[in-house]
Amino acid sequence: MSDQGSRHLRFGTRTIHAGVKPEPVTGAIMTPIFQTSTYVQPAVGEPLGGSYDYGRTANPTREALEANVASLESGTHAVAFASGLAAIEAIVKRLSAGDHVVSEENTYGGTTRMFNKVLSRLGIEFTYVDSREPGAVEAAMRPNTRLVHLETPTNPMMRVADIAAIAEIAHAGGALLSVDNTFASPYNQRPLEMGADFTVHSSTKYINGHSDVIGGVLAVKDPELAEEIYFLRKSTGAVPGPMDCFLTLRGIKTLHVRMRQHNENGLAVARYLEAHPAVDRVFYPGLESHPQHELASRQMTGYTGMVSVDVGSLARAKAFTEHTRIFKLAESLGGVESLISVPALMTHGSVPADRRAAMGITDGLVRLSVGIEDEADLLEDLERVLSGG
Ligand code: P1T
């Protein structure tokens, strides 16, 4: 669904208003949860509600969410899915056997697993590169490359890829560019404005922001591409339920306020950890010590609440993550509450050990999803565990 009417409004206003209209029967200001699988047709092939004929094909709650996300991502259309992986799958399922994809190597472990264990069996080929170096993407392009897939910042190493430079490379090679924007959120980074063709999210994370929904959403700026994706979703079926769309739309209304606090707390935690002797390395694009700080500052307006640190060994990682009180040990990220995890054993456990090691995902790597609690409480929680304070 698209929403061009709110284009002139600023980001924070659009998080609340884009795509949302008063419900016409009662004037309800909140988009209702249209919890229905089908719609009545007074005559054959003539649904009462016009284009509303079946829930997989059309649902007004879902459409409001999609119009909102399209606006926030500076796209023309967005398409919502049952999960982030289903949204990424749809982008790749546009391709056919014999087509080739160049992908950043350090994506979320589940994305690599889907590419390697599911989609490659259907005859789609994948080449993995370190996309911090645009030349590596260029060198991997083949005549049959139809998609370049980035994740920036990456999960969990916080690598940053130059979206504009890689969009040019992809397009010169006849391929489209998709960017997994989950870690940044559209508040901090809008890939479509930098030349990407798809921006995709696990809306489970910052977009919904309250750790109570699994969902995915992608946005495009080409109505024909949107049509292709609608067709794919209708034909393969990974639609989100109306209740989840409602919750996600409700969560989005505070995206700009939440992200400001995630950015602030993320930077404070990264600075604290960088100065701490128990921490070997900190990976956070907002730190001047991050090798791509300058690039991140150019293409992002904030650096999010995601911080990774290397504490040297699995034993130390366990001692750290199993004893924080506010930071809860759990997979996932991007919610208002702080989480902590050990990627090698949790989110990236499906990535072969040698590949993990090559990317720096050591057993001593700890990932923090810094929430929006009071900064002083978060720092005290970390200090208590790291310094025994
Ligand atoms: O879980 P799902 O909504 O299907 O989203 C998959 C996904 C896609 N892209 C990125 C960058 C992600 O981080 C994820 C999911 N990640 C986690 C569950 C995690 O803890 O890293």
- The pLDDT score that the predictor gives to residue 16 is 97
Distance from the alpha carbon of residue 84 to the mean position of ligand 1, in angstroms: 6
Reported confidence tier of residue 7, pLDDT bands at 50, 70, 90: confident
Say whether both 248 and 214 belong to one domain.
yes
Range of the domain at 166: 3-252
SS3 336: coil
Say whether both 176 and 192 belong to one domain.
yes
Say whether both 267 and 331 belong to one domain.
yes
Task: Identify the CATH number of the domain in which residue 364 sits.
Answer: 3.90.1150.10
Which residue blocks in 94-216 are alpha helix, DSSP H?
A: 109-117, 134-140, 163-172, 185-188
Amino acid (1-letter code) at residue 143: P
Q: What is the mean pLDDT of residues 217-230?
A: 98
- How much of the chain exceeds pLDDT 90, in percent? 96
- The pLDDT score that the predictor gives to residue 214 is 98
Closest CA to 105 of 324, 357, 389, 331: 357
Alpha carbon 347 to chain centroid distance?
14
Reported confidence tier of residue 5, pLDDT bands at 50, 70, 90: confident
Is the Cβ atom of 214 under 6 angstroms away from ligand 1? yes
Measured from the Cα of 111, ligand 1's closest atom is: 8
Report pLDDT digits (tens) over 263-282.
Answer: 999 999 999 999 999 999 99
Distance from the alpha carbon of residue 66 to the mean position of ligand 1, in angstroms: 19
Say whether both 248 and 277 belong to one domain.
no
Say whether both 210 and 273 belong to one domain.
no
* pLDDT above 70 (res 292): yes
- The pLDDT score that the predictor gives to residue 9 is 95
SS3 331: coil
Is the Cβ atom of 111 under 6 angstroms away from ligand 1? yes
User: Is residue 240 within 8 Å of residue 82, measured between CB atoms?
Assistant: yes
Please report how the helices 375-386 and 314-321 are oriented relative to each other, as an axis angle in degrees rounded to 10. 140
Is the Cβ atom of 80 under 6 angstroms away from ligand 1? no
* pLDDT above 60 (res 389): no
Order of strands across the sheet with 125-129? 77-81, 216-220, 198-202, 176-180, 145-151, 100-104, 125-129
* Mean model confidence pLDDT for the chain: 97
- The pLDDT score that the predictor gives to residue 2 is 58
Q: What is the mean pLDDT of residues 200-214?
A: 98
> For the CA atoms of 34, 37, 39, 43, what is the dihedral angle to 10 degrees?
180
- Which residue's alpha carbon is nearest to atom 19 within ligand 1? 332
Task: Identify the CATH number of the domain in which residue 193 sits.
Answer: 3.40.640.10
Say whether both 265 and 179 belong to one domain.
no
Say whether both 315 and 244 belong to one domain.
no
- The pLDDT score that the predictor gives to residue 6 is 81
SS3 126: strand
Report pLDDT digits (tens) over 85-131.
Answer: 999 999 999 999 999 999 999 999 999 999 999 999 999 999 999 99
Report pLDDT digits (tens) over 309-337.
Answer: 999 999 999 999 999 999 999 999 999 99
Count the domains in the chain: 2
pTM of the predicted model, to two decimals? 0.98
Reported confidence tier of residue 4, pLDDT bands at 50, 70, 90: low
Distance CA 372, CA 262 (A): 6
Amino acid (1-letter code) at residue 217: V
Report pLDDT digits (tens) over 25-43.
Answer: 999 999 999 999 999 999 9
- Which residue's alpha carbon is nearest to atom 12 within ligand 1? 108
Burial of 98 from C-beta contacts in 10 A (0-12 / 13-18 / 19+): exposed
Is the Cβ atom of 155 under 6 angstroms away from ligand 1? yes
Say whether both 291 and 366 belong to one domain.
yes
Is the Cβ atom of 178 under 6 angstroms away from ligand 1? no
Report pLDDT digits (tens) over 60-92.
Answer: 999 999 999 999 999 999 999 999 999 999 999
- The pLDDT score that the predictor gives to residue 388 is 79
Say whether both 13 and 144 belong to one domain.
yes
Say whether both 220 and 92 belong to one domain.
yes
Say whether both 272 and 232 belong to one domain.
no
**C-alpha dist (Å) from residue 35 to 60, 208, 234, 282:** 10, 19, 18, 45
Say whether both 33 and 121 belong to one domain.
yes
Distance CA 311, CA 317 (A): 6
